[in-house]
Structure 1
Amino acid sequence: MAIVLITGASSGIGYQAAELLAQKGHQVYGAARRMDELESLKKFGVNPIYLDVTNQASCEEVVRAIIEKEGKIDALINNAGYGSYGAVEDVSLEEAQRQFEVNLFGVARLTKLVLPHMRKNKFGRIINISSMGGRVTTYFGAWYHATKYALEAFSDALRMETKPFGVEVSLIEPGGIKTQWGFIAADHLAESAKGGAYEKAAQKAAIGMRRQYSGNMMSDPKIISKTILKALDSRKPRARYLIGFGAKPIVFLHAILPTRLFDWIMMHSS
């Protein structure tokens, strides 16, 4: 049994992962800001805990509380994150910074807090939920992809640094997953472009995103939960798990196609 802290546990992938890990016998702390949406996890044995990953004091309190009760944290699953789409010219720097605060610096805050305990125990698992969007860039997704590309580099460096201490770092890189993520990103895109030079193209792209996420092609989020469990339980977890609809073929095409041809595909894929 591992002592696990998972962020963004109030919905979607985080909720399902917390449920699955608890059912498999792990002691899970499901963290999020929306405590009311964590309540239903109690019936699976998950311990709900308030956390704002953008707040240093909140992060410190969560880690302190778990260490005080359990004596250790075996695994940190950095799942909290969101996608805010929009043209670079349209998206405010405040919104861009907020996305980095959640998607990257929140990961860094918790990682820095749990690492001393993991090093002391000579064991740890840090599982960062990235995206195939950390390997390829889609239309109007500059700031979202910037955070995920950064998370990939952060995780790669962290993996090398922590390996001598028995801490393994893995990236989960989902493709198209049937959650509310696509609708939220599409709404941000449409709203940010209103009245601007990119409005027509952005509205078209947003309609395409909603259509894709309303269809039946997207993968069930349960495949991500199962992959997180695999990375947690494996004696030698992989550095990367590229899974879900479109992930492997799109990353492959990005690697072999000329850049401008791949750009054209992304701009017309919706």
Structure 2
Amino acid sequence: MSKHVIITGTSRGIGFELVKQFSEKGYQVLALSRNAKPILDLKLLNVTAFPFDLSKKADFHKVETFVKNEWGHVDILINNAGALLNKPFSETTLEDFEFVYKTNVFGVAEMTRVILPFMKTQSHVLTISSMGGVQGSMKFPGLAAYSSSKGAVITLTELWAEEYKETGICFNVLALGAVQTEMLEEAFPGFEVPMTPKSMANYIFDFSTTGQKYYNGKLLQVSNSTP
């Protein structure tokens, strides 16, 4: 039986690299992003892509219908999409917080809720968080909305693992350090780090396909910087 993976935030960066890796390994991939063109342009036979917005209720129905009609089951869900806002807290409005949380928390929760009925024992829900969301980690000014939202999905993951422990479905979260993505460049122009999207995607691919054998409800910090 073919293996099925859903990846959000696939138009660029880590998500884009993950789609290519899963495709090369023979997985059936559903690549979801507001901009589907970069993936569609790859013309990969085992990859389906259509425009999807984590903040739009109707888009979740599209995903649910696709999985029900085309696949029937999902082996791996990678909640990778994220919105990053760098703004002084004094200027961060209620609307700014709503925008970030709609994607990073509410969208992740709804995607997971919609897909869980299609998952079985040893399926893996992997959510991508940030070192900024880890309690006690180094914090950066300007990231109040972003980092707090990334902290929320760490707690969500722990809660899911407890609530679904009888099902054998596993839930884990990776808190990534800085990766040289377009999103990082937009939020912090000129800031450069050695970690590339491709090398981080290698790690995430390996963990998403094997991590559920060893971990459930766990946060792993994926960062080579100190602290």
- Whether the TM-score (by the shorter chain) exceeds 0.5 is yes
Aligned position for 1:236: 213
User: What's the C-alpha RMSD, in Å, of the aligned pairs?
Assistant: 1.7
Q: What residue ranges of structure 2 are gaps of 5+ in the alignment?
A: none
Partner Cα separation in structure 2 for residue 225 and residue 143 of structure 1: 25
Q: Give the share of equivalent positions with the same residue, in percent.
A: 26
Is 1:53 aligned to residue 29 of structure 2? no
Contact 2:27 2:46 in 1 (8 A): no
Aligned position for 1:79: 80
Task: Give how far 1:36 is off.
Answer: 1.7
Aligned position for 2:196: 220
* SS at 1:104 equivalent: helix
Match of 1:162 among 156, 161, 164: 164
Q: TM-score, normalised by structure 1?
A: 0.76
Alignment of 1:190-205 (within 5 A): none
* SS at 1:240 equivalent: strand
Contact 1:155 1:170 in 2 (8 A): yes
Task: Give how far 1:65 is off.
Answer: 0.8
1:12-35 CA-partner distances (Å, limit 9, x unpaired): 010001110111121111111112
Moved over 4 A (4+): none
Alignment of 1:1-270 (within 5 A): 1-43=2-44, 45-118=46-119, 121-135=120-134, 136=137, 137-186=139-188, 210-213=189-192, 217-234=193-210, 236-238=213-215, 239-246=218-225, 249-250=226-227
Partner Cα separation in structure 1 for residue 146 and residue 110 of structure 2: 19
Partner Cα separation in structure 2 for residue 44 and residue 88 of structure 1: 45
* SS at 2:42 equivalent: helix
Q: TM-score, normalised by structure 2?
A: 0.90
Partner Cα separation in structure 1 for residue 53 and residue 83 of structure 2: 14
Task: Give how far 1:49 is off.
Answer: 2.2
Aligned position for 1:261: none
Task: Give how far 1:64 is off.
Answer: 1.6
* SS at 1:155 equivalent: helix
Partner Cα separation in structure 2 for residue 30 and residue 85 of structure 1: 27
Larger Rg: 1
Partner Cα separation in structure 1 for residue 184 and residue 208 of structure 2: 27
Partner Cα separation in structure 1 for residue 33 and residue 53 of structure 2: 7
Partner Cα separation in structure 2 for residue 24 and residue 240 of structure 1: 26
Partner amino acid for 1:134? G
Partner Cα separation in structure 1 for residue 67 and residue 58 of structure 2: 14
Task: Give how far 1:72 is off.
Answer: 1.0
Partner Cα separation in structure 2 for residue 27 and residue 132 of structure 1: 30
1:3-58 CA-partner distances (Å, limit 9, x unpaired): 11100111101000111011112111111111222212333632112211111221
Aligned position for 1:256: none
Decide whether aligned partners of structure 1 residues 232 and 2 sit closer, same or farther in structure 2, where only a CA change above 3 A counts: farther
* SS at 1:67 equivalent: helix
1:164-193 CA-partner distances (Å, limit 9, x unpaired): 20111111211121111222223xxxxxxx
Partner Cα separation in structure 2 for residue 146 and residue 42 of structure 1: 37
Decide whether aligned partners of structure 1 residues 79 and 46 sit closer, same or farther in structure 2, where only a CA change above 3 A counts: same
Partner Cα separation in structure 2 for residue 224 and residue 237 of structure 1: 20
* SS at 2:213 equivalent: coil
Task: Give how far 1:75 is off.
Answer: 1.4
Partner Cα separation in structure 1 for residue 41 and residue 124 of structure 2: 26
